[in-house]
Structure 1
Amino acid sequence: MLHIPSTASLKAFEAACRYLSFNQAAEELGVTPGAVSRQIQTLEHYLGKTLFHRHHKRVELTAVGRQYLAEITLPLEKIAAASARLRSETRRNAVSVCAYPTFALRWLIPRWADLYERHPDIDVQLITSLNPADFERDDFDLSIQVLAEGTSLTGMRIDKLLEVDTYPVCSPEMARKFSRPEDLKEAVFLHESPRPTDWPRWLAEAGIHDIDTNKGLHFESANMALHAAENGLGVAIGIDALVQDAIGAGRLVKLFDVVRRSSQPFQLVSSARKATRPKLAAVREWMLEAAGQPV
């Protein structure tokens, strides 16, 4: 009889090891940071060993944790590869899409019903990750990535999906405090770890150079920062494509007319060798159409 820890605990441990963050691991796994912490505590109790040193805003592996990770990584990868192979054999018609968590939550999922209405026969698997998709390892069909204009990737087809236009956003109540960019000196800035330069770049675009861009609250994801803004905790930098729904619903307000356009838009990346597959082509065309791009 095999005695092994729960797969949920192992998945939480492996994700936390990659990010050295329970919050980012939770974002990837689609659970709360508390759930990740509990799974790892369960694993530590099962092993009778401490796997992480917990600090105020970060974690680090103990020596035992590093050794355990090294020993279980290859078996976990083999399990993942074998499972992916069998799933691909039984679900050949599925189209797999990898997207950033915030992009999936704030742009893709709100439009998902239209895809199913048009193509009810297509089974779509949505996977979220903060890291760029690894097409060779995970055999994805499509992924959304932030890439510089003109980027080329061997064996990949790249289509511009959405511009990354950024500007400050906050709750309607808080918006009354600000009439010009200079008023942000009194604001609580909400930062997101994946895009640490958004605030200084937007302030430079607005011609503001005497504000401490490190002040404020820091969050592990864009979605958390935007959610904090919706709840009146401060001012976040929003990406236009990802905040339009919240602005339309009255949860957020765009501050000022200054918009900074990034040179790295959201790009739709797909495997060139799979381009002729009808269902993959249909999902790709739907995404481009939903984004207002030529097909």
Structure 2
Amino acid sequence: MPVIGRKLLRHGMPLAAPADLRRHTLLHSLARPDDWASWLASVGEKKIDGYDGLKFESSALAFEAAVQGMGVAIGSRVLITEALAEGTLISPFALTCRLSSNYYLVRPAGRTASRALRIFRQYLLDELQRRGAV
């Protein structure tokens, strides 16, 4: 989902519909290079280049750029739940899309998971559950 910071809201450029993104800078994470293009396609917006804009090394940096008013970032709900709840980031649209990308926690085949790995796995599952991602 697209997210913005309060500073961008104060600049007065409307952001009521996906087409309004033409007047804004898209903020990308290099780790998730196709997210904007996927979201734009899912909402039927064909006039915006989903690969144009500023690129950041990580989603966290793209989100911080959005907070600072540099543009509109695209984020996975699980990564921005707290920022949305705190009001640090705001979702200007109710439109979201489900992406086919996933994260995996793996260990070598035939090896028993260590206690530390089991604790870490449970922590991840608990966090995902708390954030409504599973």
Q: In 2, are the aligned partners of 1:192 and 1:220 still within 8 Å (CA)?
A: yes
Flag the 1:207–1:286 CA change in 2: closer, same or farther, 3 A: same
The correspondence for 2:120, drawn from 249, 269, 283, is: 283
Change (3 A) 1:286 1:209: same
Return the structure number with greater relative CO, CA threshold 8 A, min gap 6. 2
Name the residue aligned to 1:274. Answer: 112
Structure with max Cα Rg: 1
Judge conservation of contact 1:194–1:221 (CA < 8 Å) in 2. yes
Q: Counting strand residues as a fraction of each chain, which structure ranks higher?
A: 1
1:206 is displaced (CA, Å) by 0.7
How far apart, CA to CA, are the structure 2 residues paired with 1:219 and 1:282? 32
User: 1:290–1:196: structure 2 CA closer, same or farther, 3 Å change rule?
Assistant: closer
Which 4+ runs in 1 deviate beyond 4 A? none
Alignment of 1:5-20 (within 5 A): none
Match of residue 21 from structure 2: 184
**Across the two proteins, how many residue pairs are aligned to each other?**
126
Partner of 2:52: 215
User: Does residue 243 of the first structure (1) align with residue 80 of the second (2)?
Assistant: yes
- Which ranges in structure 1 are unaligned for 5 or more consecutive residues? 1-166
CA RMSD, aligned part only? Answer: 2.0
Q: How far has the Cα of 1:254 moved from its partner? A: 1.1
Q: Which one of 62, 70, 73 corresponds to residue 233 of structure 1?
A: 70
Equivalent residues of 1:171, 1:230 under 8 A apart: yes
Shift, 1:231, TM fit: 0.5
Counterparts of 1:200 and 1:291 in 2: how far apart (Å)? 25
Give TM-score, length-normalised by structure 1: 0.39
| TM-score between both structures, scaled by the size of structure 2 | 0.81
Structure 1 residue 240 displacement after superposition: 0.8
- CA gap of 1:216–1:279, structure 2 versus 1, over 3 A, is closer
Letter in 1 for 2:2: P
